[in-house]
A and B are shown apart, each in its own frame.
Chain A
Amino acid sequence: MRCKGVMVILREGICPGLTEEIIKALQAEDIRTVEDLVSSDAEELAQKCSVSYKALVAFRRVLLAQHAAFPVAGLDLYDELLSSTSILSTGNPSVDKLLDSGLYTGEITELAGGPATGKTQLCFSVAVSIAHEHKQNVLYICTNGGMCASRLLQMLQARTVKTDEQTYALQRIQVFQVFDVFSLLSCLQHLRAAGLQSSTVAGGSVKAVIVDSVSAVLSCMLGGKQNEGMSLMMQVAAELKMIAKDFNTAVLVTNHVTRDGRGQLKAGLGQSWSHVPRTRLLLQRVDRPGAPHGLRTATLTKSSRQVSAGLGFCSPPQYLTDNAEALETAVNTARLVLMGYHASLYMKRKFSTAFHSLQVLSVK
Chain B
Amino acid sequence: MQRTVSSSPLAPSVKVKLINAGFHTAADLVDLLPLQLCQEAGISQEEANEVLQALRHDSRLCQERAAEGCITALELLHCEQSQGSLVTFSSELDAVLGGGVSVGKTTEICGTPGIGKTQLCIQLAVDVQIPVCFGGLGGKAVYIDTEGGFLVQRAAEMARAAAEHCALLAEDTEQRAALEDFTLEKILSNIFLIRCHDYVELLAETYLLPNLLQKCAEVKLVVIDSIAFPFRHDFEDFSQRTRLLNSLAQQLNQLANQQQTAVVLTNQMTTKVSNGQSKLVPALGESWGHAATEKLILHWEEDKSVGVAKAAYHVSRTRATPPLSGSGRGKSSKRSPALPPCLVFCRSSSRKADGWPLSTSLPGKWKPLSNTKLRVKDSGMPV
Contact = CB atoms under 8 A, between A and B. Distances in A.
Interface in A35-59: none
Contacts of A220: 243-244, 246-247, 250
B214 interface: no
A257 to B, nearest CB: 8
A150 B85 CA distance: 14
B70 A176 contact: yes
B7 interface: yes
A186 B253 contact: no
Contacts of B105: 145
Nearest to A217: B250
Given A114-B289, A193-B1, A216-B290, A198 B22 contact: no
Interface residues of A, number: 69
A352 B180 CA distance: 84
Contacts of B3: 186, 189
Contacts of A232: 7
B69 A9 contact: no
A152 B73 contact: yes
A152 B24 contact: no
A180 interface: yes
Contact of A224 (B24, B80, B239, B366): B239
Contacts of A150: 77, 80-81, 367, 369-370
Contacts of A147: 76, 371
A116 B19 CA distance: 42
A151 B246 contact: no
A323 interface: no
Nearest to A296: B314
Interface string B1-37: 1111011110010010001011110001000000000
A216 B250 contact: yes
Interface stretch (A165-173, A274-282, A328-336, A339-347): A165-173
A213 B70 contact: no
A199 B257 contact: no
Contacts of A140: 73
Contacts of B312: 116, 293-294
Interface stretch (B58-66, B145-153, B163-171): B58-66
Given A179-B254, A190-B65, A235-B6, A149 B373 contact: no
B173 interface: no
Contacts of B382: 287
A189 B70 contact: no
Contacts of B9: 182
B7 A144 contact: no
Contacts of B106: 145
A145 B257 contact: yes
A199 B4 CA distance: 24
A115 B22 contact: no
A252 B290 CA distance: 18
What range describes how many residues of B lie at the interface? 35 or more
Contacts of A7: 19, 22, 24
B208 interface: no
Interface in B253-270: 253-254, 256-257
A344 to B, nearest CB: 30
B204 interface: no
B375 interface: yes
Contacts of A148: 80, 369-371
Contacts of B289: 114-116
A140 B72 CA distance: 9
Contacts of B273: none
Contacts of B287: 219, 256, 258
Interface in A256-285: 256-259
Contact of B77 (A8, A153, A223, A258): A153
Contacts of B62: 186, 190
Given A154-B367, A190-B65, A235-B4, 13 more contacts: A33-B22, A150-B80, A152-B77, A174-B72, A174-B73, A175-B73, A186-B58, A198-B70, A219-B242, A220-B247, A256-B287, A294-B312, A318-B314
Nearest 5 CB-CB pairings of A with B: A294-B314, A115-B289, A149-B77, A179-B254, A185-B7
10 contacts: A115-B290, A115-B295, A174-B70, A185-B7, A186-B61, A190-B65, A199-B70, A216-B250, A219-B287, A293-B312
Interface of B: 1-4, 6-9, 12, 15, 19, 21-24, 28, 58, 61-62, 65-66, 69-74, 76-77, 79-81, 104-106, 239-240, 242-244, 246-247, 249-251, 253-254, 256-257, 286-287, 289-291, 293, 295, 312-315, 366-367, 369-373, 375, 382
